[in-house]
Amino acid sequence: MSFDLAVLCFNRLFCHKSVKMLRPREHCDEWFSLFVLHQNRARHGQTNYIPEQFLDDFLDLVVWGHEHECLIEPAWNGTQNFFITQPGSTIATSLSDSETKPKHCALLLINKRNFKLRKLPLETVRPFYMEDVVLSESHINPGDPDVVRKVETFCAEKVSSLLEKDGIAICID
């Protein structure tokens, strides 16, 4: 089953009230309730995501996987009364600005009904840079008979300058 179909089915299960979250019967307010899911959090269509309001309000913390942006700091959902952390992908997987931000994981510490996330920066993440290049703002003349080579050189120099940010040197011929 493709991922989109799985999300659609999961969404439909919630809509039809077919998902039941269980709690212990005794001392239910003494348990820390952690929910981990790997589904779209952001709305990409009518039914290919799981809205936060679908989740039960007895939860303490939701660890939301699948979304790639690292939003590790717990965010409070005041409507559902739980925190959400979104660790994100450990590597850049798409050409978007959110992929240029630092990547983290976290150590979750739980004591009774309280929790703390210790944010841990990932140190060996493949670097990802994004920069707009506007050739009309360069000194390259579109009418120059050697324009293709000059554009290639211009772009190679841009890539080289980005790589130098990480101390990576390349040779441009």
Q: Is 126 domain-assigned? A: no
pTM of the entire predicted model: 0.70
One domain, residues 105 and 85: yes
Asked if residue 112 lies in contact with residue 32, where contact means CB atoms within 8 angstroms, the answer is: yes
Domain that holds residue 166: 131-173
Cα separation of the two ends of the chain? 47
User: pLDDT tens across 53-70, in order?
Assistant: 999 999 999 999 888 888
User: Which is nearest to 93 in space by CA: 122, 62, 128, 45?
Assistant: 128
Q: Is 44 domain-assigned? A: yes
One domain, residues 137 and 109: no
Cα distances (angstroms) measured from residue 128 to each of 8, 50, 120, 125: 31, 29, 19, 9
User: pLDDT tens across 72-100, in order?
Assistant: 999 999 999 999 999 988 877 777 777 77
Asked if residue 35 lies in contact with residue 59, where contact means CB atoms within 8 angstroms, the answer is: yes
- Identify the CATH number of the domain in which residue 48 sits: 3.60.21.10
One domain, residues 102 and 53: yes
* Count of domains forming the chain: 2
Residue 157 half-sphere exposure, CB side, CA atoms within 13 Å?
8
